[in-house]
Amino acid sequence: MTATSADGLLLPERARLLHIGLMKTGTTSLQNAASALRPELAARGVLYPGTAVNHRIAMAALMERSLPGVEPRPKVWKRLHSEIEADTSRRVLVGHEFVSEADDATAQQVYEGLGDRTHVVITLRNYSEVLPSAWQQTLKSGRNMSFGHWLKQVLSDDLEHRRLRLERDRLDQGAVTERWARVVGPENVTVVVVDKSTPTLLFDAFEDMLGLDRGVLAGADLDGFASNRSMSLEEAELLRAVNAEVRSTLSFQEYRYWIRTGAIAAVLGGRKPAEDETKLLLPAWAADRAAERSERFAAQIEGSGVRVVGDLALLERDVPDAGRRAPRSSTVPVEAAAKAVVGAISRGKLQRDKAQELLAEKSADSAADTLDATAPRLDQASGRELAAALVRRVRERIR
């Protein structure tokens, strides 16, 4: 079933549009656009609940799932749910790509949590093009497995490693679509096929479903980090080398603060890969396996009875490959390395400034006594020591 007109896609008033990804299909761009435009969307009849960029923590709590460095927070979901329930007129946009990882029981739990006005939207992209981006996403979580080794794992049909099996299964476009069609009914599922040949289709489809004018979401000002652009091979290898050096010495929160939202954000948001940098492509053997899966995925989606926006054939189209072996690079652009260093320093400075502001709220004598007893001087303290001082001061303030 295919629908392309705005009238054909419009959801009923007060519908809850649950976007479950999949990952690397423009989810970050959509979340950042909705977050940046939250007041304007509300005025136009669409609620993007909460105050964060996305609903990652709330959805994890609803799924009773722990996230790296974050235990389930039921209060976050309850607060978001209360906001949704309190709205008596608007359509709602909610979700996160982690929801695509739900099994049948968890999917049912999510559906029951949001209620029977829920409509699920699944965004898909050519599988062969998703794989390089999915590997890069593992690097942003601190891992340093090579591209070739990672491909051999996720393209295997016999995986024992739980995390790698999860990474494989969450990209299974056919299985995810069939699961949600079973849970909410195929009439309540829309698949949007995004592709570089149809660059506006993602935002257009969401605007049509939510009753927004075309172009509203595209009006958000997003940089390379906010849009989660793909890295060049050289940028990816830079991050992989950094991960190998620091990941074992940093907690997940420290890594997220200094590396992901510091170094990586500076590289992705502050530069564009040069024309002579290498685009990450699948080696020929991986492209062949991916094509086989793509053909199966498209057949499953077509047979599921869900509504499809875009051309399913784009999921199966041939894409260029890198030849016999996975591409490699032993060089890193100096500009990219400089951006990464400056980004990490900037985050450290921001953390230091916050600690100083908090400490300055106490009298000079009291602050001096506290520092003498528990930490080095500010001009000598490390980022971790400043962070610890900040935590102590926050705890004192809330007692």
What is the tens place of the pLDDT at every residue in 251-281? 888 898 889 999 999 999 899 999 999 999 9
Measured between alpha carbons, how far is 329 from 17 in angstroms, rounded to an integer? 42
- The pLDDT assigned to 94 comes to 98
Measured between alpha carbons, how far is 339 from 262 in angstroms, rounded to an integer? 9
- Residue range 119-134: mean pLDDT, rounded: 96
| CA torsion through residues 153, 157, 158, 160, sign | positive
- The pLDDT assigned to 393 comes to 46
For residue 359, what pLDDT band results from cuts at 50, 70 and 90? confident
For residue 226, what pLDDT band results from cuts at 50, 70 and 90? low
Taking 50 as the threshold, does the pLDDT of residue 395 lie above it? no
- Residue range 121-148: mean pLDDT, rounded: 94
Taking 90 as the threshold, does the pLDDT of residue 372 lie above it? no
For residue 54, what pLDDT band results from cuts at 50, 70 and 90? very high
Question: Of the given ranges (1-5, 131-135, 176-180), which has the lowest mean pLDDT?
Answer: 1-5
Taking 90 as the threshold, does the pLDDT of residue 157 lie above it? no
Taking 60 as the threshold, does the pLDDT of residue 352 lie above it? yes
CATH of 6-230+280-329, one of 3.40.1390.40, 3.30.200.20, 3.30.70.120, 3.40.50.300: 3.40.50.300
- The pLDDT assigned to 7 comes to 62
- Please give the structure tokens belonging to residue 74: 């039921």
For the chain, how far is it from start to end, CA to CA, in angstroms?
A: 58
- The pLDDT assigned to 399 comes to 43
Quote the strand ranges of the chain, DSSP E. 16-19, 46-47, 91-95, 118-124, 189-193, 307-309
Higher pLDDT, 397 or 58: 58
- Residue range 193-217: mean pLDDT, rounded: 95
CB 119 within 8 A of CB 8: no
b vs e for 245-262, b when ≥16 Cβ sit within 10 Å of the residue's Cβ?
ebbeebeeebbbbbbbbb
What is the tens place of the pLDDT at every residue in 381-390? 455 554 454 4
Question: Of the given ranges (62-76, 130-144, 188-202, 319-333), which has the lowest mean pLDDT?
Answer: 319-333
- The pLDDT assigned to 391 comes to 45
- The pLDDT assigned to 357 comes to 81
Measured between alpha carbons, how far is 171 from 125 in angstroms, rounded to an integer? 10
Measured between alpha carbons, how far is 320 from 301 in angstroms, rounded to an integer? 24
Quote the strand ranges of 102-236, DSSP E. 118-124, 189-193
**How high is the mean pLDDT of the chain?**
87
Which contacts (CB < 8 Å, 24+ apart) does range 387-395 have? 387/254, 387/351, 387/355, 389/355, 389/359, 390/351, 390/354, 390/355, 390/358, 393/355, 393/358, 393/359, 394/358
b vs e for 343-377, b when ≥16 Cβ sit within 10 Å of the residue's Cβ?
bbebbbeebbeebeebbeeeeeeebeebeeeebee
- The pLDDT assigned to 2 comes to 55
What are the start and end residues of each CATH 3.40.50.300 domain in the chain? 6-230+280-329
- The pLDDT assigned to 396 comes to 47
Residues of the chain with pLDDT > 70, as a percent, come to 87
- The pLDDT assigned to 360 comes to 78
Task: Output the pTM of the full model.
Answer: 0.83
Taking 90 as the threshold, does the pLDDT of residue 88 lie above it? yes
- Residue range 71-88: mean pLDDT, rounded: 94
